[in-house]
Chains A and B, each alone.
Chain A
Amino acid sequence: MSDSSPDDGFVTFDRVQKSYDGETLVVKDLNLSIGRGEFMTMLGPSGSGKTTCLMMLAGFETATSGEITLGGNPINSVPPHKRGIGMVFQNYALFPHMTVGENLSFPLEVRGMGKSEREQKVKRALDMVQMGNFAGRRPAQLSGGQQQRIALARALVFEPDLVLMDEPLGALDKNLRERMQYEIKHIHESLGVTVVYVTHDQTEALTMSDNVAVFDDGRIQQLAPPAVLYEKPDNAFVAAFIGENNTLRGKVDAIDGSTCSVRLDNGSVVKALRVNVEGTGVQSTLSLRPERVVLGEGAAERPNSFEAEVLELIYLGDHIRVRMNVCGDDEFIVKVPNNADGRDMKVGQKAPVGWSIEDCRALDPS
């Protein structure tokens, strides 16, 4: 209701719940605050509730309970066409019977803008996405990437404060997708517009966002900047969903301040950072990034050090992925740079592996 701190809470979800059938909740108790000018990504597997949240923000779905505010004002009862939010749809949703220029002009016409002003804004928006010469074309005459740019330009042409993007790059090939990620990021930076972006692609989320909300099972599992999300996952779901991750399972033996000892199923004891562990005696999942594991020389000096066996070598150009058996886990991955040491590895070879306490996070059992 108040405009006291619009920068922290430009968009807020307050205890929002959504159920389609009146029985199961697709979104469970969502609390989220998005600052003005922020690039917020909602990341999660399909069915996690992220798209439903976006649709509630756009006004195409109504919240079963809770309140959504925009710029300090509740918008639950504002119809979609009065919200003034830009949106890029998954299938672009360009009007097929209109030219590119007419598509972009549409939101300006609706707002009763004069012809010369409209033409000027349409041209500026098309130039921004490097499609200045395409105003007279029809959407069907454009490639997927070009249609994507037009959809982006149309969502921005009426200068909304908030733009929603629903997996906009999903239909593009890999190279184009990467290029568009940078373009969208740069447009966001230069316009200062607030973006809420929905995707199931973690690379996309890490590349573009200021903050990422990881959704699963209708809840936000963790809300953090990309680096924190990757380096310091709060729970086993986030650790597994973001980036590559080694997991070791065991029971918490002892807790010592911020660290703890976990006894694995094969009897080895691992010292780990206590992140999400209730107490001694409970099950825990240990999360460890492959690039933080030291293999061979130097491994023995680490607080955690074990003898491991090479099971498989996967050549990936700049590095080699080594699948090893560590503490009874056959799926343990270590990344080794493609240099003399890496090339000399052989399947069946035994080597020590080691890692620091702070790189190994003791999380919930999952």
Chain B
Amino acid sequence: MSMPAYYTTKDKIWHYTFRVICFAIFFFLLAPILIMIPLSFNAQPFFTFTREMLTLNPDGFSLRWYQDFLESASWRRSIQNSFLIGIAATIISATLGTLAALGLSRSEMPAKGLIMGILISPMIVPLIISAAGMFFFFSSINLAQTYLGVILAHAALGTPFVVITVTATLVGFDHSLTRAAANLGASPTRTFFKITMPLILPGIISGALFAFITSFDEIVVVLFVAGVEQRTIPREMWSGIREDISPTILAVATILVLISVALLTVVELLRRRGERLRGMSPG
């Protein structure tokens, strides 16, 4: 933390101001999230800290909202729905996104920029517009208020992440490896599963995790496309806030934060592994 000796008074003031600004940014980003965590252990059905909590009296804390979350039939169904829809949409996104990225990385592919733009448009188009469009489209082909409808909608939202991460991985990919595999007698399919896929797997997995998180905390499309049967965790939280205000949603939020942190940690670890593998490839 020591400052260089040549710093003038002005430099010193800026040095501290800079730190204060950084701290303030982190505070505004993290405080709303972190404050939920202790509140979710509140023994009382309030959204504020009670006197017992502030004095760290054990009686002020309880796991009742976690119990409420896990025991309620509607919450349980929302957990099942979120994972079912999230995992199915992720598998579709990962498969389609990887294939698209492989195609787009080939030199003979025409209209690359246009196709890439269309594929990543769900990331750029305002979500409410996508959701409204999907609502009308799915209604007319009887996919509205079905699991398949929500899964397909979320797959469309998740695919851009996979396309982008896999494309980035393929930039460092040595294409003479696929030629070598063909030369050694491997069919294109075998070459993909034995050579290409193991080497781009970190890209596929990190894209898939982003796709999963996208589906997992998505609400706008769910509001439009899903019916009562397909309510996901975010949809249930939304009703929770509107209909009966209970700290259960704080418990849910805390769990979601933990899941997100865990997934992002996995992404980071994979990214590092990917870099190591790429550094290994000769030439």
Chain A residues with CB under 8 Å of chain B are 58-60, 79-87, 89-97, 106-107, 110-111, 138-140, 147, 154, 158, 171
Contact = CB atoms under 8 A, between A and B. Distances in A.
Contact of B184 (A140, A147, A154): A154
Interface of B: 174, 176-177, 179-188, 190-191, 194-195, 198-199, 277, 279-283
Contact of B186 (A81, A86, A171): A81
Contact of B176 (A93, A107, A111, A154): A93
A82 B191 CA distance: 13
B282 A158 contact: no
Given A91-B174, A154-B184, A96 B281 contact: yes
A90 B180 CA distance: 11
B180 A93 contact: yes
Contacts of B283: 91-92, 171
Contacts of B277: 96-97
Contacts of B174: 91, 93
A92 B283 CA distance: 8
B282 A110 contact: no
Given A91-B283, A96-B281, A158 B185 contact: yes
A110 B186 contact: yes
Given A81-B187, A93-B176, A138 B280 contact: yes
A92 B187 CA distance: 20
B199 A147 contact: no
Nearest to A154: B184
Contacts of A106: 181, 184, 186, 194
23 contacts: A60-B179, A81-B183, A81-B184, A81-B185, A81-B186, A85-B183, A89-B179, A90-B176, A91-B174, A93-B174, A93-B177, A94-B180, A95-B180, A96-B280, A97-B198, A97-B199, A106-B181, A110-B186, A111-B185, A139-B282, A140-B280, A154-B184, A171-B283
Nearest to B187: A81
A92 B282 contact: yes
Given A97-B199, A97-B277, A147-B282, A89 B185 contact: no
A81 B195 CA distance: 14
A60 B181 CA distance: 12
A107 B280 contact: no
B9 to A, nearest CB: 52
Contacts of A90: 176
A80 B179 contact: yes
Contacts of B183: 58, 80-81, 83, 85-87
Nearest to A110: B185
B197 to A, nearest CB: 10
Nearest to A107: B184
A92 B282 CA distance: 8
Given A80-B182, A82-B185, A110-B186, 15 more contacts: A80-B179, A81-B182, A81-B187, A81-B191, A84-B185, A89-B176, A89-B180, A94-B180, A94-B282, A95-B181, A107-B186, A110-B190, A147-B282, A154-B184, A158-B185
Nearest to A171: B283
Contacts of A59: 182
Nearest to B183: A87
- Among B180, B184, B279, chain A packs the most CB atoms within 10 A around the CB of B184
A96 B184 contact: no
A176 to B, nearest CB: 16
A80 B188 CA distance: 10
A147 B281 CA distance: 11
A109 B199 CA distance: 19
A96 B199 contact: yes
A8 to B, nearest CB: 26
Q: Chain A CB within 10 Å — which of B183, B194, B277 has the most?
A: B183
Contacts of B282: 91-92, 94, 96, 139-140, 147
Nearest to A157: B184
Nearest to A80: B182
B209 to A, nearest CB: 21
B172 to A, nearest CB: 11
A58 B185 CA distance: 11
B179 to A, nearest CB: 6
A139 B176 CA distance: 15
Contacts of B198: 97
Contacts of A80: 179, 182-183
Nearest to B186: A110
A110 B190 CA distance: 9
